[in-house]
Structure 1
Amino acid sequence: MVELRGVDAGYGERLILSGIDFSVRRGQLVAVMGGSGSGKTTLLRLVSGQLRARKGSVRVFGQSLERISEKELYALRRRMGMLFQFGALFTDLSVFDNVAFPLREHTDLPESMIRDLVLLKLNAVGLRGAATLMPSELSGGMARRVALARSVALDPELIMYDEPFAGLDPISLGVIGQAIRKLNDALGAASILVTHDVVESLSIVDYVYLVSQGKIIAQGTPDEIRNSPDPFVHQFIYAEADGPVPFHYPAPPLEESLLLEAEVAP
């Protein structure tokens, strides 16, 4: 479904990703983890064709994105679903109309069929009863579930999630996590999950890529990642303060800084 080989990518003169090898098979739910600024969202932009690789190849559904026309790219995107960070619902549309939007925009289905499909998608995320509500009337977890229903409205073959657990309470987080897993299995889709949440992600995904400073430094099944002897992987997975990633930003020894301040003080 997705294959990146030897990919370099960035913005302007800044290189964000380097030498990336990454693949997702049909039916797989794959997590991409790493610290802030490590290049996780850039990887999603490569897969969706928003960003072109500087080097290497990006293939989605067997098609090379380096050689694809704009018309062909739009056709590919109709086979994708995207859950944006914090949901990104249309604030002036009801829950029903938010989910109906991609169906009205990209199909010629009659309104009666769109109604049935929207109610089925909302039922799948437990929010059929909230169809008439506006986004301002939803909790954070509910809004994320509506966005999830919208992202699968067209039964996509590939679904991408950008930090779907950010800002959620533990119950909402668990509900969203299980919904992502069940929808992926029900659709027979492939899913890419960009996230910081280690515990929930490792409980639902099939495979993990760990990104640091623009490179994939570890990959494997959840059990392989949990048991990795790599110091950085261990520190990230178990949220340890001490490890390869330092707590302090580089600076001279504290004693020197304090003595220097004392010498220059009036």
Structure 2
Amino acid sequence: MATYDDDLRLAHVLADAVERTALDLFGSPDLHLSVTDDGALITQATSRLEELLRHQLQRTRPRDRVEGRVLETTGHGDRRWVLDALDGTANYVRGVPVWATLISLVVEDEPVLGLVAAPSLARRWWAGRGSGAWTGRQLSRARPVRVSDTSVLEHASVSVDEVASWLFGPHGDGFAQLCDRVWRTRAFGDFWSHALVAEGAADVALAATADVYQLSALSAIVHEAGGRVTDPWGAGVTGPDASAPTPVLVTNAHLHELALATLAPQDGAHG
């Protein structure tokens, strides 16, 4: 099996390259939100951080393809670096410290590496296929992570974002039942919900919408930690046939089928 240790080290170098700028701009009153054509929130910092990431990749992986949320795709081939320079943009602008840079490597349409760098939380989460999932401040000070072994829905800790989208969407009845059955619900939001599932601190995470720039990194980490990632109908969210943006269900795998069955719309509607 191919290993991606060199690429993981590079992903940390990329995160290092943007960390100071990201922290300097965090919560600046000069930042303003705007919306991309696909509905994602961005700000001036998004472009600046993506430029820095691309500059490093051009120097170190000039033959790889690079895809980002803001700038045009460059390069070609089966190795694709997928960048979400700023996940949690609304938090970033409002001064809430839950935001991160997401970096992933996709080979032949499958995410094989993911890194989440959250400098305001002083944490990173990362994984490479076959190398396990890890968290820490940096490579040299890391600990392995694994999803929880919770297998009873009534014992589960669930993190959910955009409650109204779930409650009034096609899974509304199922979502209400899920919230009623589980031990507790919280709203950590954005990348953090999924990272917490990967490290076993939460058991289930629900995202009302996520796209390829987020899912490539997050799914690589969750899968390597032993979890599962699908849409609420059970379909995959990465690969050539995946549709995005899409709602997402992330679990420790033990609870996945239970969560899917509970969420299932009574009329079987999709969308």
Does the alignment reach a TM-score above 0.5? no
TM-score normalised by the chain length of structure 2: 0.27
- Specify the structure having the higher radius of gyration (Cα): 1
TM-score normalised by the chain length of structure 1: 0.27
Greater share of residues in helix: 1
Larger RCO (alpha carbons 8 Å, 6+ apart): 1
